[in-house]
Protein backbone atom coordinates (compact mmCIF):
# COMPACT_ATOMS: atom_id res chain seq x y z
CA UNK A 1 0.00 0.00 0.00
CA UNK A 2 1.23 3.51 -0.77
CA UNK A 3 0.08 6.94 0.28
CA UNK A 4 0.46 10.36 -1.33
CA UNK A 5 -0.74 13.85 -0.61
CA UNK A 6 -3.01 14.83 -3.46
CA UNK A 7 -4.55 13.64 -6.69
CA UNK A 8 -3.57 16.46 -9.01
CA UNK A 9 -0.01 17.45 -8.27
CA UNK A 10 1.70 18.87 -11.32
CA UNK A 11 4.80 16.86 -10.34
CA UNK A 12 7.79 17.75 -12.51
CA UNK A 13 10.63 16.17 -10.52
CA UNK A 14 10.64 12.65 -9.08
CA UNK A 15 13.29 11.89 -6.49
CA UNK A 16 13.59 8.23 -5.53
CA UNK A 17 15.30 6.75 -2.51
CA UNK A 18 17.74 3.88 -3.07
CA UNK A 19 17.78 1.35 -0.20
CA UNK A 20 14.40 -0.29 0.27
CA UNK A 21 13.02 1.22 -2.95
CA UNK A 22 15.48 0.34 -5.71
CA UNK A 23 16.69 -2.58 -3.59
CA UNK A 24 14.98 -5.28 -1.49
CA UNK A 25 13.66 -4.15 1.93
CA UNK A 26 16.37 -3.45 4.56
CA UNK A 27 15.00 -6.27 6.73
CA UNK A 28 15.90 -8.76 4.01
CA UNK A 29 19.41 -7.40 3.79
CA UNK A 30 19.86 -7.42 7.57
CA UNK A 31 18.80 -11.06 7.61
CA UNK A 32 21.45 -11.76 4.97
CA UNK A 33 24.04 -9.94 7.13
CA UNK A 34 23.22 -12.18 10.10
CA UNK A 35 23.39 -15.28 7.94
CA UNK A 36 26.74 -14.41 6.40
CA UNK A 37 28.37 -13.41 9.67
CA UNK A 38 26.78 -16.16 11.74
CA UNK A 39 25.56 -13.56 14.26
CA UNK A 40 22.22 -13.60 16.04
CA UNK A 41 20.08 -10.59 15.30
CA UNK A 42 19.35 -9.64 18.93
CA UNK A 43 22.92 -8.99 20.19
CA UNK A 44 23.88 -7.45 16.88
CA UNK A 45 21.03 -4.93 16.99
CA UNK A 46 21.79 -4.12 20.63
CA UNK A 47 25.46 -3.53 19.81
CA UNK A 48 24.55 -1.29 16.86
CA UNK A 49 22.21 0.76 19.05
CA UNK A 50 24.90 1.12 21.73
CA UNK A 51 27.40 2.46 19.21
CA UNK A 52 24.77 4.67 17.59
CA UNK A 53 23.97 6.31 20.93
CA UNK A 54 27.61 7.40 21.24
CA UNK A 55 26.95 9.78 18.35
CA UNK A 56 23.97 11.39 20.06
CA UNK A 57 21.27 9.77 17.95
CA UNK A 58 19.00 6.74 17.75
CA UNK A 59 19.21 6.71 13.94
CA UNK A 60 21.50 3.77 13.20
CA UNK A 61 22.64 5.06 9.81
CA UNK A 62 23.31 8.68 10.75
CA UNK A 63 26.91 8.13 11.92
CA UNK A 64 27.73 6.44 8.61
CA UNK A 65 25.91 8.49 6.02
CA UNK A 66 26.69 12.02 7.21
CA UNK A 67 29.43 10.74 7.78
CA UNK A 68 30.64 11.04 11.37
CA UNK A 69 32.66 7.83 11.25
CA UNK A 70 34.11 5.52 8.62
CA UNK A 71 32.45 2.19 8.02
CA UNK A 72 35.63 0.40 9.13
CA UNK A 73 35.74 2.22 12.47
CA UNK A 74 31.98 1.81 13.00
CA UNK A 75 32.20 -1.94 12.49
CA UNK A 76 35.20 -2.13 14.83
CA UNK A 77 33.23 -0.38 17.55
CA UNK A 78 30.29 -2.76 17.07
CA UNK A 79 32.61 -5.77 17.24
CA UNK A 80 34.10 -4.40 20.48
CA UNK A 81 30.64 -4.00 22.04
CA UNK A 82 29.62 -7.50 20.93
CA UNK A 83 32.72 -8.94 22.61
CA UNK A 84 32.71 -6.84 25.76
CA UNK A 85 28.97 -6.68 26.50
CA UNK A 86 27.54 -9.79 24.87
CA UNK A 87 30.42 -12.25 24.85
CA UNK A 88 30.19 -12.60 21.09
CA UNK A 89 33.25 -12.56 18.89
CA UNK A 90 32.72 -11.13 15.43
CA UNK A 91 34.98 -9.95 12.65
CA UNK A 92 33.15 -7.67 10.24
CA UNK A 93 35.20 -5.87 7.63
CA UNK A 94 32.57 -4.47 5.27
CA UNK A 95 28.90 -3.76 5.74
CA UNK A 96 28.66 -2.57 2.14
CA UNK A 97 29.70 -5.93 0.68
CA UNK A 98 26.97 -7.73 2.59
CA UNK A 99 24.44 -4.98 1.97
CA UNK A 100 24.84 -5.12 -1.80
CA UNK A 101 26.26 -8.52 -2.82
CA UNK A 102 23.54 -10.61 -4.44
CA UNK A 103 20.99 -7.83 -3.91
CA UNK A 104 18.70 -7.43 -6.89
CA UNK A 105 17.76 -4.13 -8.45
CA UNK A 106 14.03 -3.43 -8.35
CA UNK A 107 13.56 -3.54 -12.12
CA UNK A 108 9.81 -2.81 -12.22
CA UNK A 109 10.38 0.39 -10.22
CA UNK A 110 13.33 1.31 -12.40
CA UNK A 111 11.13 0.83 -15.46
CA UNK A 112 8.53 3.17 -13.99
CA UNK A 113 11.20 5.83 -13.54
CA UNK A 114 12.27 5.34 -17.14
CA UNK A 115 8.67 6.02 -18.10
CA UNK A 116 8.68 9.22 -16.06
CA UNK A 117 11.78 10.45 -17.86
CA UNK A 118 10.24 9.61 -21.21
CA UNK A 119 7.38 11.93 -20.27
CA UNK A 120 9.86 14.72 -19.71
CA UNK A 121 10.02 14.52 -15.93
CA UNK A 122 13.24 15.12 -14.02
CA UNK A 123 14.27 11.90 -12.25
CA UNK A 124 16.86 11.94 -9.49
CA UNK A 125 18.06 9.81 -6.61
CA UNK A 126 18.01 11.28 -3.10
CA UNK A 127 19.65 8.98 -0.57
CA UNK A 128 21.20 8.87 2.87
CA UNK A 129 24.30 7.00 1.75
CA UNK A 130 27.61 6.18 3.46
CA UNK A 131 30.67 6.93 1.30
CA UNK A 132 31.80 3.29 1.47
CA UNK A 133 28.65 2.30 -0.41
CA UNK A 134 29.14 4.64 -3.36
CA UNK A 135 30.74 2.16 -5.74
CA UNK A 136 28.28 -0.58 -4.82
CA UNK A 137 25.03 1.16 -5.76
CA UNK A 138 26.55 2.27 -9.06
CA UNK A 139 26.90 -1.37 -10.05
CA UNK A 140 23.17 -1.83 -9.50
CA UNK A 141 21.91 1.37 -11.13
CA UNK A 142 24.22 3.39 -13.41
CA UNK A 143 24.72 6.99 -12.30
CA UNK A 144 23.94 8.13 -15.84
CA UNK A 145 20.39 6.84 -15.47
CA UNK A 146 19.50 9.83 -13.27
CA UNK A 147 19.31 13.51 -14.11
CA UNK A 148 21.06 14.16 -10.78
CA UNK A 149 22.05 12.29 -7.62
CA UNK A 150 22.09 13.85 -4.15
CA UNK A 151 23.95 11.81 -1.52
CA UNK A 152 24.03 12.72 2.16
CA UNK A 153 27.75 12.05 2.53
CA UNK A 154 28.56 14.33 -0.39
CA UNK A 155 26.43 17.31 0.61
CA UNK A 156 26.66 17.00 4.41
CA UNK A 157 22.87 16.97 4.74
CA UNK A 158 20.42 14.11 5.15
CA UNK A 159 16.77 13.22 5.10
CA UNK A 160 14.44 14.07 6.78
CA UNK A 161 16.06 17.50 7.31
CA UNK A 162 14.54 20.31 5.26
CA UNK A 163 17.88 21.52 3.92
CA UNK A 164 18.48 18.46 1.73
CA UNK A 165 15.03 18.82 0.16
CA UNK A 166 15.62 22.50 -0.55
CA UNK A 167 18.94 21.59 -2.17
CA UNK A 168 17.42 18.82 -4.28
CA UNK A 169 14.62 21.07 -5.53
CA UNK A 170 17.15 23.73 -6.48
CA UNK A 171 19.31 21.22 -8.35
CA UNK A 172 16.28 19.99 -10.24
CA UNK A 173 15.36 23.57 -11.08
CA UNK A 174 11.83 22.84 -9.87
CA UNK A 175 9.84 24.54 -7.12
CA UNK A 176 9.25 22.34 -4.04
CA UNK A 177 5.50 22.08 -4.72
CA UNK A 178 6.30 20.22 -7.95
CA UNK A 179 8.79 17.78 -6.39
CA UNK A 180 7.93 14.24 -5.30
CA UNK A 181 9.92 12.04 -2.92
CA UNK A 182 9.47 8.27 -3.09
CA UNK A 183 10.84 6.70 0.09
CA UNK A 184 10.29 3.60 2.22
CA UNK A 185 10.66 5.53 5.51
CA UNK A 186 7.68 7.48 6.82
CA UNK A 187 9.94 9.99 8.61
CA UNK A 188 11.56 10.94 5.31
CA UNK A 189 8.18 11.34 3.64
CA UNK A 190 7.06 13.59 6.48
CA UNK A 191 10.25 15.63 6.11
CA UNK A 192 9.58 16.07 2.40
CA UNK A 193 6.03 17.25 3.04
CA UNK A 194 7.27 19.70 5.67
CA UNK A 195 9.57 21.12 2.97
CA UNK A 196 6.59 21.66 0.66
CA UNK A 197 7.06 18.50 -1.42
CA UNK A 198 4.71 15.69 -2.29
CA UNK A 199 5.63 12.28 -0.92
CA UNK A 200 4.86 8.69 -1.82
CA UNK A 201 5.48 6.19 0.96
CA UNK A 202 6.91 3.11 -0.75
CA UNK A 203 5.69 -0.15 0.78
CA UNK A 204 5.37 -2.36 -2.29
CA UNK A 205 6.36 -2.04 -5.93
CA UNK A 206 3.00 -2.55 -7.70
CA UNK A 207 1.30 -0.01 -5.48
CA UNK A 208 4.10 2.52 -5.92
CA UNK A 209 4.13 2.09 -9.70
CA UNK A 210 0.37 2.64 -9.86
CA UNK A 211 0.55 5.69 -7.56
CA UNK A 212 3.37 7.26 -9.54
CA UNK A 213 1.37 6.76 -12.73
CA UNK A 214 -1.58 8.51 -11.11
CA UNK A 215 0.51 11.39 -9.81
CA UNK A 216 2.09 11.98 -13.19
CA UNK A 217 -1.34 11.97 -14.83
pLDDT digits (tens, 9 = 90+) for 183-205: 999 999 999 999 999 999 999 99
Same domain, 131 and 190: yes
| pTM (whole model) above 0.85 | yes
> Which of residues 73, 100, 127 is at a domain's end?
100
The mean pLDDT of the chain is: 91
Query: What pLDDT is recorded for position 4?
Result: 43
CA–CA distances in Å: residue 72 to residues 45, 52, 96, 131, 212? 17, 14, 10, 11, 38
> 165 in a domain, yes or no?
yes
Residue 162, pLDDT > 80, answer yes
Residue 174's domain comprises: 13-23+104-216
Residues counted in the chain: 217
Enumerate residues 6+ apart whose C-beta is below 8 A from 30: 41
Residues 129 and 209 in one domain: yes
Q: State the pLDDT at residue 100.
A: 77
Q: Specify if 190 maps to a domain.
A: yes
- H or E segment at 82? helix 71-86
Residue 210 lies inside a defined structural domain of this protein? yes
Whether residues 82 and 179 share a domain: the answer is: no
Closest CA to 58 of 67, 45, 71, 76: 45
57 and 137 belong to one structural domain = no
Residues 183 and 131 in one domain: yes
At 199, is the secondary structure helix, strand, or coil?
A: strand
3-state secondary structure of 200: strand
- Specify whether 62 is located in the same domain as 89: yes
Nearest to residue 169, comparing CAs of 195, 135, 132?
195
The number of distinct structural domains making up the chain is: 2
Q: Is 203 found in the same domain as 139?
A: yes
Amino acid sequence: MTTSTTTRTGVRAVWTDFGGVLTPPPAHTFAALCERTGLDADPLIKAVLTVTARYGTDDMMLPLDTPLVTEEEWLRQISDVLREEHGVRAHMTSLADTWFDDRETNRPWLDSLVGARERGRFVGMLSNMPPAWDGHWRRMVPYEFFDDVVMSFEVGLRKPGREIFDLAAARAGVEPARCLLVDDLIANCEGARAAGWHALHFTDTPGAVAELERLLG
